[in-house]
């Protein structure tokens, strides 16, 4: 197949929306979802009735924890639309980008013209409720079935315990330091200061980072992303349908995806490498671009160590070079060599679970970044996931 015939080359982004982030929010999960979805529709300049595809990641979840409190069926009813296609995205595949990639396929195969993709979380509310319940009952149940059976007996009750192992492995292999890792958080907070929707906007220093409490050695408080209530929506359109819409289309130059061999936390082998390596290989095999063609990058930061691993997996840094690349913050500043997580990322802006990175990429390419706008940005890489891995190269002519 010729590259110009790839599915992603037939599709573009025409509108975006994002609710106000709350910690917690005074709005329900459904209200937040509608805020984001209606913004995206209006941003593109189409009507609600023009939306003929609807998808979310990972659809409504019964697991609790506010991970995915709203699904496609209730959103379809609340919006008053009757799409011809809806497909609940799975947890695996390209991780948080699964909904975007499924939407691309629906449009490229001619099923739809406009697919609305959204991601809603209510984790701040869920965590507050969980803490209240724990205080009342004096106990917290630890589920040790499924994949957790491999973790809980070793007191690894949280993903932070797992990703701390990756960070320590990186330190040991490359001689990186905790101070260097801290620059991921400091860089994100600096940029979040110019993002009015970021949860945390007050700048922090390396000393602030090092003085913060340890969560799971060597990861500290500022190495962990920020639980929020919020929703983000991305409107995909066919190239033909986008011609007369309000915004200049944002095109997909290439996409990449991969999934862990055994799923989250069941990695074997070199802990300084993840299945994101295969995602990066696929991405660059679908384009003539090189890493030097990327004007800015929105890199998944569920934990700070994700940023190092991702930068190397998608070849924006050489093996073992990510720590030194970010240290000092000059090269990743708005006017630096590679502006990084320009909206603050999940560490400071809030855990929009990957969709926030895509939203920020579009803001930059449409020149809507305000005080954090990257001068002359025409291309952006967005990647996300820590269990399933997805990446995209976006561009604007």
Instruction: Let me know how long the chain is.
Output: 397
- According to DSSP, the β-strands at 11-18 and 250-259 are antiparallel
Predicted pLDDT at 365: 99
Predicted pLDDT at 92: 58
Contacts 24+ apart (CB under 8 A), 213-218: 215/160, 215/164, 216/158, 216/160, 216/161, 216/164, 217/164, 217/168, 218/164, 218/167, 218/168, 218/171, 218/178, 218/181
Predicted pLDDT at 93: 63
Crossing angle between the packed helical segments 178-192 and 304-313, to the nearest 10 degrees: 100
Predicted pLDDT at 247: 98
Predicted pLDDT at 147: 67
Render pLDDT for 90-140 as a digit per residue (tens, 0 to 9): 655 677 899 999 999 999 999 999 999 999 999 999 877 655 444 444 445
Low-confidence ranges of the chain (pLDDT < 70): 62-64, 89-93, 129-147, 260-268
- According to DSSP, the β-strands at 296-299 and 379-384 are parallel
Q: How far is CA 358 from CA 170, 234, 328, 394, in A?
A: 27, 8, 26, 9
Distance, in Å, from the CA atom of 30 to the CA atom of 59, rounded to the nearest integer, reads 13
Torsion sign (Cα): 203, 295, 353, 40: positive
Backbone conformation region of residue 114, classed left if phi is above 0, alpha if psi is from -120 to 50, else beta: beta
pTM over the 0.85 mark: yes
The CB density around residue 179, as the number of other CB atoms within 10 Å, is 14
Torsion sign (Cα): 61, 67, 72, 76: positive
Residues 6+ apart with CB under 8 A from 145: none
Residues 6+ apart with CB under 8 A from 309: 166, 170, 272, 273, 274, 276, 322
* Domains of the chain from N-terminus onward: 3-126+227-242 (3.40.47.10)
Residue 330 near residue 340, CB atoms below 8 Å: no
Predicted pLDDT at 91: 57
Residue 326 near residue 187, CB atoms below 8 Å: yes
Average pLDDT, the chain: 92
Predicted pLDDT at 137: 44
Predicted pLDDT at 130: 58
Predicted pLDDT at 155: 79
Torsion sign (Cα): 376, 368, 347, 384: negative
Burial letters 150-161, b for 16+ CB under 10 A, else e: ebeeeebeebbb
Predicted pLDDT at 132: 47
Count H helices, E strands: the chain? 13, 11
């Amino acid at each position: 197949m010729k590259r110009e015939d790839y599915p992603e080359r037939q599709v573009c982004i025409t509108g975006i929306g994002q609710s106000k982030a709350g910690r917690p929010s005074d709005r329900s999960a459904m209200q937040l979802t509608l805020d984001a979805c209606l913004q995206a529709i209006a941003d593109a300049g189409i009507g609600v009735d023009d939306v003929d595809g609807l998808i979310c990641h990972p659809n409504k979840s019964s697991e609790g924890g506010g991970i995915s409190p709203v699904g496609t069926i209730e959103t379809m009813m609340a919006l008053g639309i009757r799409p011809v296609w809806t497909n609940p995205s799975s947890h695996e595949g390209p991780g948080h980008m699964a909904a975007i990639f499924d939407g691309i396929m629906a449009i490229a195969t001619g099923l739809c013209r406009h697919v609305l993709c959204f991601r809603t979380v209510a984790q701040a509310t869920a965590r507050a409720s969980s803490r209240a319940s724990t205080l009342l009952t004096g106990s917290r149940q630890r589920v040790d079935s499924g994949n957790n059976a491999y973790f809980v007996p070793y007191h690894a009750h949280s993903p932070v315990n797992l990703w701390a192992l990756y960070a320590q492995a990186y330190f040991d292999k490359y001689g990186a330091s905790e101070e260097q890792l801290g620059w991921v958080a400091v860089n994100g907070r600096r940029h979040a200061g110019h993002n009015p929707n970021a949860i945390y906007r007050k700048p922090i220093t390396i000393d602030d980072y090092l003085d913060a409490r340890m969560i799971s050695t060597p990861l500290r408080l500022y190495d962990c992303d920020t639980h929020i209530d919020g929703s983000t929506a991305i409107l995909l359109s066919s190239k033909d349908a986008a011609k007369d819409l309000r915004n200049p289309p944002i095109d997909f130059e290439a996409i990449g995806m991969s999934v862990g061999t055994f799923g989250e936390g069941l990695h074997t082998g070199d802990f300084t490498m993840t299945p994101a390596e295969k995602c990066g290989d696929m991405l660059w095999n679908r384009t003539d671009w090189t890493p030097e063609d990327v004007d800015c990058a929105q890199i998944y930061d569920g934990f700070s160590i994700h940023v190092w691993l991702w930068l190397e997996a998608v070849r924006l840094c050489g093996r073992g070079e990510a720590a030194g690349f970010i240290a000092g913050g000059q090269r990743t500043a708005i006017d630096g060599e590679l502006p990084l997580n320009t909206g603050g990322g999940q560490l400071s802006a809030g855990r929009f679970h990957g969709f926030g990175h895509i939203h920020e990429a579009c803001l930059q390419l449409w020149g809507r970044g305000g005080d954090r706008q990257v001068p002359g940005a025409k291309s952006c890489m967005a990647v996300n996931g820590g269990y399933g891995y997805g990446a995209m190269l976006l561009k604007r002519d």
